[in-house]
A = this chain, B = another copy of it.
Amino acid sequence: MSTGIAASIVSDPSRAFAALANVGDLTKATIPTPALIVDLDSLESNIKKMAEHCRQAKCAFRPHAKTHKCPEIARRQIAAGAVGICAATVPEAEALAAAGIRGILLTSPIVDAGKIARMVAIAASAGGAGSVMLSVGHLREATLLAEAAVAAKVNLDVLVDLDVGDKRTGSLPGEPAVELARQIAKSKRLTIRGVQAYAGHASHTVGFEARQKVSREAIAKAALTKALLAKDGFDAKILSGGSTGTYNIDSAIDGMTELQVGSYVFMDVDYRRIGGRDGQAVYADFQPSLTVLTTVVSTTHAERVTVDAGTKAIDTTTTHRPEAKNWPGLVYARAGDEFGAVTSEGGGKLPAIGERVEFIVPHCDPNVNLYDRLYACRGDRVEAIWPVAARRESGAANSR
């Protein structure tokens, strides 16, 4: 990967970032806070480790961009051997396609004509089937997709989205999924390539053995459905699913063909608490690379200081708290939309006014979603600024 000042000017048509030529001067002492930081050494280590695991396990991987929404990181995942990239939203798919990424799998259902047309447009511009796949779990989506594919004369690959236990999206596995596949296949423009099964309830199960049990049960339903599809005459080779929490479980399951791992690039407090394979309390397979850099802006009270990062800067929706990096004993508590209150366990020293503290975030995906840019740092130095290019419906109104 290229580094340095040249690499910092990452083009992104959806954002108007002016000249960043002075990025080489920026350090963690001068970045305006609150800021989202990615540690490049840790990021690169994580990308390499997952790629090596999948190579050894003979299981492909199609990492999920919902975690980072960052074409630059997607390019690095592809360079490391990923077969493509998953997207959770149409704007994510558009940003990835615009950055030249191929093998985009939209993992979420879409059921309105506008978004369907946008996905078909991506497929048309990227070369049709193979460049874009959609996960379909309801006949309504299949119908809209077939109409749009016929109108645009584009062929599309489809995975049958399965609900293997988290009750969010997808067809029930088994016969309902096979029947949906038969309906989808009535369109000559749509080709069933396999199934998708995301077991959200497995990914954060605490304890390796417990996690393995939940994930195996969930994925078994998907493997069985894939076999039923094959028996019914479909060319259903793909079983796409899994997560950072179950990567080394799922890659060993018979029938699993590719992992949709996302958080491994960044890690977060929630994932660090699920426990490691050999009974460790901390799940340390991957290194925490994502932090929010904050500044102490008030020290009026002896027992607590205030930092400039509240609800708008650190996602605290989940149960775990942010963890101070390199400052044991500091405890962060939300203190409104703009501020955090920081205390010290055991009465240890607190940071002074103007001092900066980095926090590992509780949950990486929604935290990235709060920012427009990632400061990519090597040690304390900013090596590049990467746009978070695919936030929600940004830029979407023009491409209905």
Contacts and interface: CB of A to CB of B under 8 A. Distances in A.
Interface of A: 13-20, 23, 26, 30-35, 66, 88-90, 108-112, 114-115, 137-138, 140, 163, 166-172, 200, 295-301, 304, 306, 308, 311-313, 315-317, 334-339, 341, 353-354, 363, 365-366, 369-373, 385, 391-398, 400
B392 A138 contact: no
A111 B353 contact: yes
Given A353-B140, A366-B311, A19 B398 contact: yes
Given A170-B300, A313-B392, 10 more contacts: A20-B397, A32-B396, A88-B338, A108-B308, A111-B295, A112-B295, A138-B299, A167-B335, A168-B298, A168-B339
Contact of A171 (B108, B114, B167, B300): B300
Contact of A169 (B14, B88, B306, B396): B306
A90 B23 CA distance: 20
A313 B366 CA distance: 9
Nearest to A69: B312
Which interface residue of A34, A111, A334 has the most chain B CB atoms within 10 A?
A111
A395 B20 CA distance: 10
Given A306-B168, A308-B108, A397-B20, A366 B392 contact: no
A316 B316 CA distance: 9
Nearest to A335: B168
Given A312-B366, A353-B111, A370-B369, A167 B34 contact: no
A290 B384 CA distance: 36
Contact of A137 (B90, B172, B298): B298
22 contacts: A18-B395, A20-B397, A20-B398, A31-B397, A108-B297, A109-B298, A110-B297, A111-B295, A111-B297, A112-B354, A137-B298, A138-B299, A138-B300, A168-B306, A168-B341, A169-B300, A200-B336, A313-B392, A317-B334, A370-B392, A372-B391, A372-B393
A351 to B, nearest CB: 12
Nearest to A31: B397
Contacts of A317: 311, 316-317, 334
Contact of A115 (B32, B170, B316, B393): B32
A171 B306 CA distance: 13
A341 B45 CA distance: 36
A385 B372 contact: no
A111 B354 contact: yes
A344 B330 CA distance: 42
Contact of A393 (B34, B90, B394): B34
B298 A34 contact: no
Contact of A66 (B30, B111, B295, B338): B338
